[in-house]
């Protein structure tokens, strides 16, 4: 049986105590600090020197230009870009042109919004990949459903849509109104 070399575990420095350079304001050593918005690099002479900079760069990076595409605002080529909120399509003419589009296309499910009665419900995806259905009249109309809507009126309260639900291997329709919530078997009309 081999013996363990305990000198490997006797570290005199912490792994995060690396050389991060010197403060451009006072020349002291920079170190990782933690604040209400997360970790950042700060001067070791704080509060005498208050220099700080973020650990991560939040700049937008152009990943790939989309061949054959044109910006509808200025006519320049569009590109897939990565920003602090994820991937998006943007004009290569930035900062003169501010045109952006979502990478994921929204799917119209051809059901009228029961709240404003002028918009249509569209399938959208949140930043975690979960689907939801919202009125395309946003921000004027903020109607949202977390389950797939069905173009059938509620037999009890006459709300213009029902939602499809699944429980215990059974599929049924339910009224999305909190004060109603009636469950309707799918085979009933």
CA distance 69 to 77: 6
Average pLDDT score over residue span 60-89: 85
Pair (72, 97) in one structural domain: yes
CA distance 175 to 90: 40
Pair (95, 111) in one structural domain: no
Mean pLDDT of the residues in the chain: 83
Evaluate whether residue 17 is within a structural domain: yes
More confident residue, 25 or 6: 25
- For tokens 């004060």, the residue is 179
Evaluate whether residue 4 is within a structural domain: no
Evaluate whether residue 25 is within a structural domain: yes
3-state secondary structure of 6: helix
Structural domain total, the chain: 4
CA distances from 178 to 69, 157, 161, 171, 182 (A): 45, 11, 13, 19, 9
- Strand arrangement, sheet containing 149-150: 149-150, 162-167, 170-174, 183-185
Segments forming the whole domain that contains residue 170: 149-189
Pair (28, 39) in one structural domain: yes
Evaluate whether residue 2 is within a structural domain: no
Task: Please state the pTM of the whole predicted model.
Answer: 0.47
Tens-place pLDDT, residues 168-187: 888 899 999 989 888 888 86
Tens-place pLDDT, residues 30-55: 888 888 877 888 999 998 999 988 87
Evaluate whether residue 116 is within a structural domain: yes
Evaluate whether residue 187 is within a structural domain: yes
Predicted local distance difference test score (pLDDT) of residue 17: 54
- For tokens 């990943």, the residue is 63
Q: pLDDT band at 166, cuts 50/70/90?
A: confident
Pair (133, 156) in one structural domain: no
* Maximal CA-CA distance, the chain: 78
Q: What percent of the chain has pLDDT over 90?
A: 26
144: pLDDT strictly greater than 90: yes
Q: Is 120:114 a contact under the CB 8 Å cutoff? A: no
Pair (129, 163) in one structural domain: no
Pair (140, 109) in one structural domain: yes
Pair (186, 160) in one structural domain: yes
Q: CA 158, 159, 164, 165 torsion: positive or negative?
A: negative
Q: pLDDT band at 80, cuts 50/70/90?
A: confident
Predicted local distance difference test score (pLDDT) of residue 11: 60
Evaluate whether residue 8 is within a structural domain: no
Q: What is the DSSP letter of 157?
A: T
Q: Both tokens of residue 85? A: 């909120």
Average pLDDT score over residue span 70-86: 86
Evaluate whether residue 168 is within a structural domain: yes
């Amino acid at each position: 049986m081999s013996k363990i070399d305990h000198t490997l575990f006797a570290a005199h420095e912490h792994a995060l105590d690396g050389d991060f350079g010197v403060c451009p304001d006072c020349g002291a050593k920079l170190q990782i600090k933690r604040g209400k918005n997360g970790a950042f690099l700060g001067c070791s002479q704080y509060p005498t020197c208050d220099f700080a900079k973020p650990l991560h760069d939040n700049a937008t990076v152009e990943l790939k230009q989309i061949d054959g595409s044109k910006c509808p605002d200025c006519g320049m080529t569009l590109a897939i870009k990565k920003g602090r909120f994820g991937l998006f399509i943007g004009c290569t003419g930035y900062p003169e042109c501010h045109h952006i589009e979502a990478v994921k296309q929204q799917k119209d499910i051809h059901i009228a919004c029961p709240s404003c009665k002028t918009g249509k419900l569209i399938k959208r995806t949140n930043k975690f990949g979960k689907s939801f259905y919202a009125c395309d009249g946003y921000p004027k109309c903020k109607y949202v459903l977390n389950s797939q809507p069905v173009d059938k009126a509620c037999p009890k309260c006459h709300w213009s849509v029902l939602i499809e639900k699944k429980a215990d291997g059974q599929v049924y329709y339910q009224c999305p109104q909190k004060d109603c919530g009636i469950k309707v078997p799918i085979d009933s009309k």
